[in-house]
Homo-oligomer: A and B are copies of this chain.
Amino acid sequence: MNTLRIRIATILCILAFTASAALAGGPQKTLPGDLSLTQAQAVLAAAQAKALAIKVPMNIAVVDAGGNLKAFARMDDAFIGSIDIATRKATTARFFNMSTRALGAAAQPGQPLFGIEATNGGLVIFAGGVLLVDKHNVIVGAVGVSGGSVDEDESVALAGAAAIAK
């Protein structure tokens, strides 16, 4: 039943875009519903506001549904080494459709995914990467934050994610 509803949604969607793409002439370059730059910059702005509120300079990275970088900001005095960590937190969250905190819990010694951080060219398995779920309940990307304690990082990421959730 659920599957049927998704199929109907897909058909409606495809019909809508058929009309649009046919008229546009060239092929459509971006899948419908993917994260826009406007959304990504709203995530950055909300995260940055939270970081200022808690007085911790942060690196903030936003990736789209395909896991590709969409927007980034390094606040003044934020760690240089966190450019990579913030970005990997975002991709890690999208790669496994869960927060980096949740992934990290399963990657501790003795846990099922111990050692997973050595895959994908290096994952981040501590808190600060969270999914971006839009108001239609679709995963459209992820945000990764690094610069403070992992709890601070995650609070800033969650503030960013909230910007497009409603």
A positions within 8 Å CB-CB of B = 2, 5-6, 8-10, 12-24, 26-34, 36-37, 40-41, 64-77, 79-85, 88, 91-92, 94-97, 104, 107-110, 112-127, 131, 133, 135-140, 149-150
Contacts and interface: CB of A to CB of B under 8 A. Distances in A.
A40 B2 CA distance: 24
Contacts of A126: 112-116
**How many copies of this chain?**
4
Contacts of A12: 12-13, 15-16
Contact of A71 (B27, B66, B74, B81): B74
A92 B96 contact: no
B27 A131 contact: yes
Contact of A37 (B10, B18, B76, B118): B76
